[in-house]
Structure 1
Amino acid sequence: MDKSAELSPSLEDYLEAIALLQKRRRAVRVKDVSRHLGVNASSVNSAVQTLSQKGLVTHEHYGYIELTQEGEKIAGHVQRRHDTLLTFLTKVLCIPQHIAVQEACAMEHHIRSRTLERLSKLNSFALSEEHGERSRWLERFHQLLEDSEAHNRRDAE
């Protein structure tokens, strides 16, 4: 059974945060996750306990939190979904970074694998430097977005 299918968006966020913190600094404690996600320590403890029961993290009381091999695998999938969405939102749709991060976080938990795969291919196609025609259509699309926003600003005045 796919353990990632059993995880709520919140638990996926905890796995993703633990993985990110492990990359930055080897040892991750409850307080580190709490600060990173802006939640209280009791919420982190509850989530870590659930993740531990699912075999995705190991954690000794008052000790370090570590992802298991399966936890690393799932966290990697979540991060790839996030990165693909963030790239699409910022580089293709020109959404400002601070908004795109929030949107990607919301979308990453609900997008289907096939949709994500196609979005990833669209990113590669749209952002490819080797095909001049492809980059021209993206430039034209970005110009369309700018023109539309300028028109909306004029209408608002």
Structure 2
Amino acid sequence: MHLLIDQLDPYIEINPIGVPNENYYPGTSTIMKAGDVLYSSKSFLTSTKIVGHVAIVGPDYRIYHVNPVGDVAGKRDTLTDYRNRHYVGETIYVYGPSSGATGAANWASINYSSAKTYEIINLEPLSSISSNYCSKFIWQALYYGSSIDLTHIGLKGSS
């Protein structure tokens, strides 16, 4: 998870409460951008029951992510719905990729519904979308949507 944070530029943090305008991050004059990566630091006893969660803003300002809640793992939420998945007091950080944001956002919006099962202990190759988890989905969006490997160790979809 540190690789994702270290290689993206943070420019705002938001707190999960009301949203006056879905094109702006709540309580700010910062415009949402396609490809923004949302990161929430979590502990075992918080809303997702896992440590940390990432999502990406799509070209339609919807939030695309993979989590274990519900029948299908791939999710397309409004910012309000996404924020409601977090407890009050949890912080969501916004990171803007230095390049490739549009391609990654488009890839996520096209492929999120292919994520059928949530498996954090995942032996499937990185190319497998159907068996997925949140950070793998963001890696896929950046890799397949913009040819960016966040790890800088040469991972491929077959890895």
- TM-score bucket of the superposed structures, by smaller chain: under 0.3
User: 1 or 2 for the larger relative contact order (CA 8 Å, sep ≥6)?
Assistant: 2
TM-score by length of 2: 0.27
TM-score by length of 1: 0.28
